[in-house]
Amino acid sequence: MNAQKQRNANIVAIITMFFLFGMVGFVTNLAAPAGTIWMSKYEGSNTVGMLGNFMNFFAYLVMGIPAGMLLQKIGYKKTALIAVIVGFFGIGIQFLSGKFSSDLSGLIVYLTGAFVAGLCVCMLNTVVNPMLNEIGGGGNRGNTLLQWGSSLNSLFGTIAPVLVGALIGEVTKNTTFSDINLVLYIAMAIFAVVAIILYFLNIPDPSVEKVDDRARSPWKYRHFVLGAIGIFIYVGVEVGIPGTMKFFLENLKEGKLDPSAAGTVAATYWFLMLIGRLAGAGIATKVSPRNLLTFVATIAIILVGVAMLLPQNIMVSMPVFSKFKFLMQTVPINALLFVLVGLCTSIMWGGIFNLAVEGLGASVKKASGIFMMMVVGGGILPLLQNGIVDWTNKNYMISYIVPLLGLAYLLFYALVGSKIVDKKEHRQ
C-alpha cells in the first residue's frame, strides 16, 4: 500500500514538474520577440532588442546559487511556490512598462520586470531538473523524464513568440509594449492559478535527507565543471539561433518579413524542439546520453556552418507553425537550416545535465544551483551575437560564428569532457 501511495505521489509530482517546465519556456520566450518593440524605438539596434533577453538570463547568475540553497533548506514544493509568486510580479512589472510615455522609462521598467521574471524561471529550473532526474533514478530513465519535461518546455515556448508576433503585427513608431498586454494577462493568470494549485498539492521530496556540507564540492569533479560550461554555451546557442534569426528575417534587404511572420518562423524552431524532445524521450531509453549528444552536436555544426556559407538570395518555401496549423512561408534557405537546428538542440539539455551530475551523489542539489547560475549564457551569448550584427553593419551570417563555436565545444564535451577521469568520483 505504501509503495502504491509513493507511486501515486510520484506521478503527481512528475505531472506538476512537467507543467512547471512548460511555464519556464513560455516566460523565457517572451523576451526576444518583445525586443522587436524596443528595437523600433532605438534605430533598429539589435543589441537593444536583446537586452530583455539578457536581463531574463542575467537573473540566473544572481539567483543560481541562492536557488540551490533555498531548495536544500525548504524543499521542492515551497521553492516552486515562491518561484511562481515571483513570476507573477515579474510579468506584472513588464505590464507596467507599457504605461510610461517616455521610451527610456518604459524600457528600464521592462528590463526590471524581465529580470524579476528571470528569478522565477531560475528557481523553477532548479526544482524541476533534479526532481525529474531523481524520480527517474538517474541514467537513461532520468534522462527520459527530462526529455518529456523539456517537450512541454518547447510547446509553451512555441506559443509565446506566435502570440507576441501576432499582437505586434507591423511595427510602427506608434507600436508600444501595451500592444502585447493579452500575452501578459495570460501569463499572470497562469502564475496565479498554479500558485493556488501548488499550495494545496502534496509534492514529495525524493531526497528528504539534508545535503552534507562536508560532501565533496561539485567543482572538484572535472566532468561537472566542463558540463557547467556546456550548459552556459548550450543555452546561449539554443536562444541565440532563433532569436537572431527573427531579427534577420525582419531586416532582409529584399522580402523582409513582418514581426508576425518572423515570429512564426522562430516559433517553428521551438516547435521542432518539441518534436525532437518527444522523439528523444523514446530514444534516450536506448541510446546513451553521450552518444546522443555527440550525434546531434555534429549535425547542428553542419547545419549552422552550411547556413553561414550559402547566399541569402536563395529562397525556399517552408512550413511554419502558426495558429496551431502549418502554413507555407517563403524564407532564405539560411533561415530554414537554422530552424532545423531545433531538432538537434532539443535533446541537448537533458544529456548535458545527466552526464554532468553522474557520480555526484549528495552534491547533486548544490550542482543544480550552479547549473542554474550558468544558464546566464542564454543572455550573454545572444547579446554578443547581436552586438556582432550591429558592429558588422547587419551582417547576420558572420554573427553565427558564436553558436558555431559553441556547438563545437558541446561536441568536445560529449567526446572527451564528459568522461569521469578521477576514480574518487566513482566512490563519491
**Residue 53 burial (CB count, 10 A):** 27
Residue 426 has pLDDT above 50, yes or no: no
List of E strands, 246-324: 315-322
Residue 183 has pLDDT above 50, yes or no: yes
- Decide which of 24 and 408 is more confident: 408
Mean pLDDT score of the chain, rounded to an integer?
A: 81
**310: DSSP letter:** S
Cα→Cα distances 294→89, 410, 413, Å: 40, 8, 8
Q: What pLDDT was estimated at residue 395?
A: 92
Q: What pLDDT was estimated at residue 386?
A: 92
pLDDT tens by residue, 283-329: 777 888 899 999 999 999 999 999 999 999 899 998 876 555 677 88
Instruction: Quote the CA–CA distance of 354 and 60 in Å, as a whole number.
Output: 20
Residue 416 has pLDDT above 50, yes or no: yes
When pLDDT is averaged across residues 11-37 and rounded to a whole number, the result is 75
Helices (H), 136-169: 139-168
pLDDT tens by residue, 388-400: 999 998 899 999 9
Cα→Cα distances 407→53, 383, 417, 418, Å: 20, 17, 14, 15
Q: What pLDDT was estimated at residue 305?
A: 97
When mean pLDDT is compared across 93-107, 197-211, 339-353, the lowest value belongs to: 197-211
Instruction: Quote the CA–CA distance of 417 and 175 in Å, as a whole number.
Output: 47
Q: What pLDDT was estimated at residue 190?
A: 80
Cα→Cα distances 16→12, 133, 191, Å: 6, 14, 13
Q: What pLDDT was estimated at residue 169?
A: 57
Instruction: Quote the CA–CA distance of 148 and 24 in Å, as a whole number.
Output: 14
When pLDDT is averaged across residues 183-212 and rounded to a whole number, the result is 73
Return the C-alpha cell found at 249: 528575417
Q: What pLDDT was estimated at residue 428?
A: 40
- Decide which of 217 and 1 is more confident: 217
> Exposure of 383 by Cβ count < 10 A (0-12 exposed, 13-18 middle, 19+ buried)?
buried
When pLDDT is averaged across residues 208-230 and rounded to a whole number, the result is 75
When pLDDT is averaged across residues 7-25 and rounded to a whole number, the result is 75
For every residue of 50-110, which 3-state class applies, written as one string?
CHHHHHHHHHHHHHHHHHHHHHHHHHHHHHHHHHHHHHHHHHHHHHHHCCCCCHHHHHHHH
Query: What number of H helices and E strands is found in the chain?
Result: 17, 2
**Most confident residue range from 15-24, 133-142, 279-288, 372-381:** 372-381
When pLDDT is averaged across residues 80-92 and rounded to a whole number, the result is 90
* 19 in Cβ contact with 191 (< 8 Å): no
Residue at grid coordinates 506538476: 16
Q: Which domains does the chain have, with CATH numbers?
A: 2-201+242-427 (1.20.1250.20)
pLDDT tens by residue, 108-166: 888 999 899 999 988 888 787 777 766 666 555 666 777 677 777 777 777 776 676 66
Q: What pLDDT was estimated at residue 367?
A: 78
| DSSP-based three-state secondary structure for 376 | coil
Strand partners of residue 325: 322
Cα→Cα distances 231→13, 125, 306, 377, 419, Å: 25, 13, 24, 8, 16
- Decide which of 147 and 417 is more confident: 417
Instruction: Quote the CA–CA distance of 141 and 139 in Å, as a whole number.
Output: 6
When pLDDT is averaged across residues 38-60 and rounded to a whole number, the result is 80
* 376 in Cβ contact with 61 (< 8 Å): yes
pLDDT tens by residue, 356-375: 888 777 677 677 778 878 88
Q: What pLDDT was estimated at residue 136?
A: 64
Q: What pLDDT was estimated at residue 165?
A: 65
Return the C-alpha cell found at 219: 567543482
Q: What pLDDT was estimated at residue 173?
A: 61
Residue 6 has pLDDT above 70, yes or no: no
- Decide which of 52 and 180 is more confident: 52
As a whole-number percent, the residues of the chain with pLDDT over 70 amount to 80
Instruction: Quote the CA–CA distance of 109 and 102 in Å, as a whole number.
Output: 11
Nearest Cα neighbor of 146 from 376, 360, 356 is 356
- Decide which of 117 and 217 is more confident: 117
Instruction: Quote the CA–CA distance of 339 and 344 in Å, as a whole number.
Output: 10
**362: DSSP letter:** G
When pLDDT is averaged across residues 228-236 and rounded to a whole number, the result is 94
